[in-house]
Chain A
Amino acid sequence: MKNLIELRNVSKTFDDDLVINDLDLAIRKNEFITLLGPSGCGKTTILRIIGGFESPSQGQVFFNDREISHLKANERNINTVFQNYALFPHLNVYDNIAFGLRNRKCKEDEIFKRVEKALKLVKLNNFNSRKVQTLSGGQKQRVAIARAIINEPEVLLLDEPLAALDLKLRQEMQYELKEMQRKLGITFVFVTHDQEEALSMSDTVVVMDEGVIQQIGSPESIYNEPKNKFVANFIGESNIFEGKYLGDKFVEFLGSKFQCVDEHFVSNEKVNVVIRPEDFDIVPLEKAKIIGEITDVVFRGVHYEFCFVVEGNEYIIHTLENLKIGDRIGLDVDPYEIHLMKWEDEV
């Protein structure tokens, strides 16, 4: 499949700050792709480079195989939903949404039809003559989306659009945005620092840190097979153990031998072992390969989260069982829930 957007060897420096470091990224048609990472990792900068608000210091940007690295934002068939909505305060909802079309000299009755359609899509029927200042955060959000998609761009860029909304509303909007993308059939490039959001909405997740892509993959592969400590720690919660690959799908850590499914390592190679807190099985102490002592408990509604200590280190387990601090706990893990990563020094 031809790539809709390609970034090749893109770097960006602000003053003396290298914000993006020699990055390659390919984005396909009709894809919901999310750039995920902590503040300052460069994800918004990439979005702005794609949108045309910044030029790459080095490297090139391609759109449908045409280089657009220095093309201005108003000349790209890409639209943006800004983080703080950027609705024009001097125009009402209708005029805000119609803004792009009016500039293209669309006929007024055509504009009327399309605005109505857009309002319906974002579930704001009859909001035409409302003033922007009277809208709630969620409503402003939807108007911003309507204003962008009415121009039928090939790509929609969304810069942390849900960051200012409260939890319930955010979850609703996540669902709606996903639906919208499916209905419209266009590419959404979504930026967020919220990994749950990324996992629930995306076809592809791009995890970034410090201007460098850490991992690209489907939400499942990012979650289940993190490539390095950063991804393992950033996505969900993980327990990371030092271990040694014994060959033949066996790995040793915490003093015991475990069967696993990874085999891309060399015998006796040092590895990091990743086990998600929900993947531990609680077993009777006699049969347990891992024995630890509960040191802390947090009730999370969905499950309990316990801290337990093994060999002086703290780890986390999610379980429905109601344990108490001080309890001794015996654990085992299924082979396909043990994930191995290349050994990394403590960062």
Chain B
Amino acid sequence: MKYKSFVYPYLIWMVLLVIIPFLFMALLSFSKSTGLSFDSLEFSLENVKKISETVYYKAILNSLLYGGIATIICLLIGYPVAYVLAFSKFKYKTLALVLIIVPTWSNMLLRIIAWEKLFLPNSILNSIGISLDLIGTPLAVIIGMVSIYLPFMIFPIYTVLEKIDTSLIEASSDLGLTPFKTFLKVTLPLSTSGIISGIIMTFLPSATAFALPARLSGGKLQLIGNIIETQFKTSFNYNFGSLISLVVVIVILIMLSIIYRVDSKGETLL
């Protein structure tokens, strides 16, 4: 095909909107300045030192912790759901899959508010005799995360499971394996790329969320997203904010490169 020239504008676009800002952010991270001007730029490692401050240090750990737990729960719920749907002979199973995605079209902030209202002691649940007082608890944040990001775990796993040739399952049975063993030795290994996709699509957004932890923890929990938001919108400390953002990006790049090494055909992310 002869349309190579279509790509060049995109490369320029990406350089402009991705590479240049990153370089600038790297610059900002290791310097101190006022705002975004180059005027009083001087090299400094004070931002790096700032990370070791408890607040920020804890925020990073909490992001990993909460994101990690939410992802694991999504996996524990999502894999069975994807499995049941993929292997069922239910006539409307595509519809069921679509219905799993539909909630993601509902505004995320409203869904967060909905959970917030349910977790308050004074809520519509009172009418059926239940009163929850969960705002501020880790449980509330986790439930919120799972509720929002579960479809992103289910979908890639479903896609991969659907593609598994049934004759492979039959062959395994033919060779003497029980259904459970077949799952362990054939289905599960063949669904790894879906699991990895699901984990990425769940962990990344949940670890870097800020509206969700802000509302469901009553402002008590600070995740890395909250830190970044504060630095850029409130404290206007672009230098420190840039550093934290860079840390996030580097972690993501590391994850991507691990995946690339394991699966060079690029199947995982498609």
Instruction: Spell out A's residues near B (CB within 8 Å).
Output: 51-53, 72-74, 78-80, 82-84, 86, 88-90, 99-100, 103-104, 147-148, 151
8 Å CB interface, B157-202 against A: 165, 167-168, 170-178, 181-182, 185-186, 189-190
- B177 engages A74 (CB within 8 Å): yes
- A99 engages B172 (CB within 8 Å): yes
Q: How far is the CB of A165 from chain B (nearest CB, A)?
A: 18
- A82 engages B175 (CB within 8 Å): no
Q: How far is the CB of A53 from chain B (nearest CB, A)?
A: 6
Given A88-B186, A90-B190, A103-B181, A73–B167 Cβ distance below 8 Å?
no
Chain B residues near A88: list those with CB within 8 A. Answer: 168, 171-172, 186, 190
For A157, give the chain B residue with the smallest CB separation: B174
A-B contact count (CB 8 A): 61
Chain A residues near B175: list those with CB within 8 A. Answer: 74, 79, 99-100, 103, 147-148, 151
Shortest 9 CB-CB contacts between residues of A and residues of B: A100-B175, A86-B171, A86-B167, A73-B173, A80-B174, A74-B173, A90-B189, A74-B176, A82-B167
- B171 engages A80 (CB within 8 Å): yes
- A103 engages B177 (CB within 8 Å): yes
CA distance A255 to B165 in the complex (A): 59
For B178, give the chain A residue with the smallest CB separation: A74
Chain A residues near B172: list those with CB within 8 A. Answer: 74, 88, 99
Chain B residues near A99: list those with CB within 8 A. Answer: 172, 175, 185
Chain A residues near B168: list those with CB within 8 A. Answer: 86, 88-89
- B190 engages A89 (CB within 8 Å): yes
- B190 engages A73 (CB within 8 Å): no
CA distance A51 to B181 in the complex (A): 19
Q: Please list 21 pairs of residues, one from A and one from B, whose beta carbons are closer than 8 Å in the complex, sorted by A's number.
A: A73-B173, A73-B174, A74-B172, A74-B174, A74-B177, A80-B171, A80-B174, A82-B167, A84-B165, A86-B165, A86-B170, A88-B168, A88-B172, A90-B190, A99-B172, A100-B176, A103-B177, A148-B174, A148-B175, A151-B175, A151-B176
Given contacts A74-B177, A90-B189, list 6 more A-B pairs with CB under 8 A.
A52-B173, A53-B173, A74-B178, A88-B168, A99-B175, A100-B176
- A73 engages B181 (CB within 8 Å): no
- Of the candidates B167, B172, B175, B185, the one having the most CB atoms from chain A within 10 angstroms of its own CB is B175
Q: How far is the CB of B125 from chain A (nearest CB, A)?
A: 46
CA distance A158 to B166 in the complex (A): 17
CA distance A291 to B107 in the complex (A): 87
CA distance A111 to B175 in the complex (A): 15
Chain A residues near B167: list those with CB within 8 A. Answer: 82-84, 86
Chain A residues near B189: list those with CB within 8 A. Answer: 90
Q: How far is the CB of A110 from chain B (nearest CB, A)?
A: 16
Q: How far is the CB of B180 from chain A (nearest CB, A)?
A: 11
Q: How far is the CB of A61 from chain B (nearest CB, A)?
A: 16
CA distance A53 to B176 in the complex (A): 12
Chain B residues near A89: list those with CB within 8 A. Answer: 168, 190
- A72 engages B165 (CB within 8 Å): no
- B186 engages A73 (CB within 8 Å): no
- Of the candidates B167, B171, B174, B181, the one having the most CB atoms from chain A within 10 angstroms of its own CB is B174
For A147, give the chain B residue with the smallest CB separation: B175
Q: How far is the CB of A241 from chain B (nearest CB, A)?
A: 46
CA distance A101 to B224 in the complex (A): 51
Q: How far is the CB of A95 from chain B (nearest CB, A)?
A: 10
Which of A73, A78, A100, A148 sits near B170, CB closer than 8 Å? A73
CA distance A266 to B165 in the complex (A): 56
Chain A residues near B190: list those with CB within 8 A. Answer: 88-90
For A80, give the chain B residue with the smallest CB separation: B174
- Of the candidates B171, B173, B178, B189, the one having the most CB atoms from chain A within 10 angstroms of its own CB is B171
Q: How far is the CB of A169 from chain B (nearest CB, A)?
A: 21
CA distance A205 to B178 in the complex (A): 33
Which of B173, B181, B185 sits near A72, CB closer than 8 Å? B173
Chain B residues near A147: list those with CB within 8 A. Answer: 175
Which of B165, B170, B177, B181 sits near A53, CB closer than 8 Å? B170
Q: How far is the CB of A268 from chain B (nearest CB, A)?
A: 55
CA distance A88 to B173 in the complex (A): 13
CA distance A188 to B168 in the complex (A): 21
For A104, give the chain B residue with the smallest CB separation: B176
CA distance A19 to B170 in the complex (A): 21
- B186 engages A51 (CB within 8 Å): no
Q: How far is the CB of B87 from chain A (nearest CB, A)?
A: 15
- Of the candidates A78, A83, A86, the one having the most CB atoms from chain B within 10 angstroms of its own CB is A86
CA distance A103 to B183 in the complex (A): 13
Chain B residues near A82: list those with CB within 8 A. Answer: 167, 170-171
Q: How far is the CB of A141 from chain B (nearest CB, A)?
A: 14
- Of the candidates B168, B181, B186, the one having the most CB atoms from chain A within 10 angstroms of its own CB is B168
Q: How far is the CB of B182 from chain A (nearest CB, A)?
A: 8
CA distance A82 to B172 in the complex (A): 11
CA distance A83 to B167 in the complex (A): 9
Chain B residues near A84: list those with CB within 8 A. Answer: 165, 167
Q: How far is the CB of A343 from chain B (nearest CB, A)?
A: 44
- Of the candidates B181, B185, B190, the one having the most CB atoms from chain A within 10 angstroms of its own CB is B185
Q: How far is the CB of B133 from chain A (nearest CB, A)?
A: 48
Q: How far is the CB of A285 from chain B (nearest CB, A)?
A: 59
